A and B are shown apart, each in its own frame.
Chain A
């Protein structure tokens, strides 16, 4: 860990100087910053998840080691990359959507260590050593999660664009213990905007699914 920090230190430029030449970092070794692996065995885990094509030109590059939908992922990233863009553009997981890119709509909602977050405002780097769950990881193969089924049954969607974020938020809401009344559901789902206006169906779906989840449906 300390040695990794030393590596970071030598990469840090002086004030005012041109940043370390990004072209020289490619294969340059010394300036490639490594994220601390936090003492996990993530580095030696089994087969990494499939990656997209060759990574883009280097900026300040980081080697990220994370878990997405229960699969290990090791990927080189630009430090600026959001979790949302990592999922969508590098890992082919396009379920989470970009609706605003500023944490104002909730369409990008995923779970990080079991808690719902706005992935557009989460630095991908912050997921190092942690676990991400997206809509693609919610169903059990082709067996729908009770919340997904409830969304179908109550027509809690129209265009479907905000739907993955709504469902991820809804599943978390139930696990938080917030599905105690329609008013509470409305309040705690207000971080997910639906411009098609499917709110009435969404609340009904959550009430329905919460009962199923409490009585032993999927976690």
Chain B
């Protein structure tokens, strides 16, 4: 790891100003569970770390009014334990507590988690450094060097949204749930504040997999807002992985249902573990609108959610698994009381 300077500003404006002064190689750090990890792997070499976790006033959860509002610095564990979130938006609570471990959830922030880096093994373990012994071409890590995952051991790679340059899966759970719930992020940067639908935060890899987020240089996330909806109560985050806990998703589904008896008025479905960014399944949602939900329809919706998915060499099972995960999530959500 290269040396860096470190500062811990007390206000968001100070942080943005410090970023500007620091010049190239500046990076915000929140919990550090992703950034410090990839720094140890020598994937990124920031010269100046600006620790935002000392900034006051960004760690509140507000549940009054017509929106839920999470300050960006709320720890994931705190958001997962909030009584309103647990009762009225299980999809959000589950997407939080099913991620990582409680130790990491105590450190990681809800804002920082939106920017977590991929777990693709060729990205992570390919710098040839003492901690990551492999040496693999990776367009995301080193643009233009190629993609070792394509044609490789790609069991964990994406079946949706991939390109000829990159097939890395977007790793998060919380972003998937937020995408399903039409959340927005509030940003502060050198040019001031702006708000962004969360789905617009993420880029497809295309020819530029090294560009993952639409943040401008120096922009930091200050809050996440989620419009309130009664559908929140009939929701779930269903996560299928290679072990029962402490693992990333093979396939996951965030589902929230606005129901009239057993008829679906409107469905929200987003996919994790299978795509290069949090994936809203609009076609599946449309299929469900106005219809009576049963096991067969749930599975059909799941298949619709994965329509257009393309398999690599070893990850074709994710298409079927993803469809079934959506199906099970729909049944679980429908079974919850409004």
Binding site for B on A (CB under 8 A): 1, 5, 8-9, 11-16, 19, 22, 33, 35-36, 38, 59-60, 62, 78-80, 82, 101-103, 106, 109, 112, 115-118, 121-123, 125-126, 128, 169, 172-173, 176, 178, 186-188, 190-193
> Residue-by-residue, is B24-50 near A (CB-CB < 8 Å gives 1, otherwise 0)?
110001001100110011000001110
B8, B101, B244: residue with the most chain A Cβ atoms closer than 10 Å: B101
Could you tell me the distance between the alpha carbons of A127 and B22 in the complex, rounded to whole angstroms? Answer: 23
Binding site for A on B (CB under 8 A): 1, 3-10, 14, 18, 21-25, 29, 32-33, 36-37, 40-41, 47-49, 51, 53-54, 75, 77, 81, 100-104, 106-107, 131, 244-246
When C-beta atoms are compared, the residue in chain B nearest to A20 turns out to be B5
Report B83 CB to chain A, min CB distance, Å.
12
Could you tell me the distance between the alpha carbons of A103 and B108 in the complex, rounded to whole angstroms? Answer: 12
B106 near A79 with CB under 8 A, answer: no
> What residues on B are CB-neighbors of A19 within 8 Å?
3, 47
Report B155 CB to chain A, min CB distance, Å.
19
A190 near B3 with CB under 8 A, answer: no
Within the complex, which residue of A36, A59, A102, A191 is in contact with B8, where a contact is CB–CB below 8 Å?
Answer: A36
> What residues on B are CB-neighbors of A12 within 8 Å?
5, 21-23, 48
A5, A79, A103, A178: residue with the most chain B Cβ atoms closer than 10 Å: A103
> What residues on B are CB-neighbors of A169 within 8 Å?
102-103
User: Dominant SS at the B interface?
Assistant: mixed
Known: A123-B29, A191-B101. 16 other contacts (CB 8 A): A8-B5, A14-B23, A15-B25, A60-B6, A79-B6, A80-B1, A101-B40, A115-B77, A118-B107, A121-B33, A122-B36, A123-B32, A123-B51, A126-B51, A169-B102, A188-B102
> What residues on B are CB-neighbors of A80 within 8 Å?
1, 3-4
18 contacts between A and B (CB under 8 A): A1-B10, A5-B7, A8-B5, A12-B23, A19-B47, A22-B3, A79-B6, A103-B103, A109-B103, A116-B106, A118-B101, A118-B103, A121-B32, A123-B49, A123-B51, A126-B53, A176-B81, A190-B245
Report A180 CB to chain B, min CB distance, Å.
13
Could you tell me the distance between the alpha carbons of A175 and B293 in the complex, rounded to whole angstroms? Answer: 41
> What residues on B are CB-neighbors of A109 within 8 Å?
103
Could you tell me the distance between the alpha carbons of A193 and B101 in the complex, rounded to whole angstroms? Answer: 11
**A-B pairs, 6 with minimum CB distance:** A191-B101, A190-B245, A59-B3, A79-B6, A115-B106, A15-B23
Could you tell me the distance between the alpha carbons of A173 and B81 in the complex, rounded to whole angstroms? Answer: 13
Could you tell me the distance between the alpha carbons of A8 and B49 in the complex, rounded to whole angstroms? Answer: 12
Report B275 CB to chain A, min CB distance, Å.
24
Report A177 CB to chain B, min CB distance, Å.
9
When C-beta atoms are compared, the residue in chain A nearest to B1 turns out to be A80
Q: Do A117 and B107 form a contact, CB below 8 Å, given A79-B49, A126-B32, A191-B246?
A: yes
A103 near B23 with CB under 8 A, answer: no
When C-beta atoms are compared, the residue in chain B nearest to A8 turns out to be B7
B21, B32, B51: residue with the most chain A Cβ atoms closer than 10 Å: B32
Could you tell me the distance between the alpha carbons of A5 and B41 in the complex, rounded to whole angstroms? Answer: 30
A190 near B246 with CB under 8 A, answer: yes
Q: Do A11 and B5 form a contact, CB below 8 Å, given A102-B40, A116-B103, A123-B36?
A: yes
> What residues on A are CB-neighbors of B107 within 8 Å?
117-118, 121-122
When C-beta atoms are compared, the residue in chain B nearest to A102 turns out to be B37
Report A102 CB to chain B, min CB distance, Å.
6
Could you tell me the distance between the alpha carbons of A34 and B263 in the complex, rounded to whole angstroms? Answer: 62
B37 near A191 with CB under 8 A, answer: no
A14, A118, A193: residue with the most chain B Cβ atoms closer than 10 Å: A118
B32 near A117 with CB under 8 A, answer: no
When C-beta atoms are compared, the residue in chain A nearest to B106 turns out to be A115
Could you tell me the distance between the alpha carbons of A79 and B24 in the complex, rounded to whole angstroms? Answer: 18
Could you tell me the distance between the alpha carbons of A14 and B41 in the complex, rounded to whole angstroms? Answer: 25
Could you tell me the distance between the alpha carbons of A10 and B104 in the complex, rounded to whole angstroms? Answer: 34
> What residues on A are CB-neighbors of B18 within 8 Å?
5
> What residues on B are CB-neighbors of A11 within 8 Å?
5
